[in-house]
Amino acid sequence: MLEWIGLSKAAGWWIVIASAVMLFGAMVAVPWLVIRIPADYFAHPHRADSEWIRKRPVFRLIWVIAKNMLGGAFFILGVLMLVLPGQGLLTLLIAVALLDFPGKFRLQRWVVTRRGVIDSIDWIRKRAGKEPLVFNPK
């Protein structure tokens, strides 16, 4: 099969190794990130920019361009990994998290509020001694 897509055996092994590293990285990074989400992160219908971004529009522009370029690269790699060995879906989720597009926060909130997703997130947060995510402001 490697010959069919034009890859050498060495390239195939590097892809397998990279896939294993990304899987292990995801197993470590996802819980680490989940416990660092503020409990009220999804409590408001819109997310405000951080203060340092609002005060420095040049940094905001640089930040948005760099973040979207990285997100675009992850998106392309994620699509490729859907047919090649690798964590394609995970890479696409990272891309969506990085890219800026209209309705992104609503999409994130919708995904997180699905029964299996929120149960898993709250389970991880409970094990780390964090309070569950709140979706309605008090």
The pLDDT tens digits for 92-106 are 888 888 898 888 888
Comparison of pLDDT for 94 and 6, the residue scoring more? 94
Alpha helices in 7-114 (DSSP H): 9-34, 51-55, 57-83, 88-98, 104-112
Which of 12-21, 94-103, 108-117 shows the lowest per-residue confidence on average (mean pLDDT)?
A: 12-21
- The secondary structure of residue 133, as a DSSP letter, is P
* 89 has pLDDT over 70: yes
67, with CB counted inside 10 A (0-12, 13-18, 19+), is: middle
Inter-residue contact 80 to 5 (CB < 8 Å): no
Inter-residue contact 34 to 124 (CB < 8 Å): yes
Does the pTM surpass 0.75? The reply is no
| Boundaries of every domain in the chain | 2-127
Percent of the chain clearing pLDDT 70 (strictly above):
88
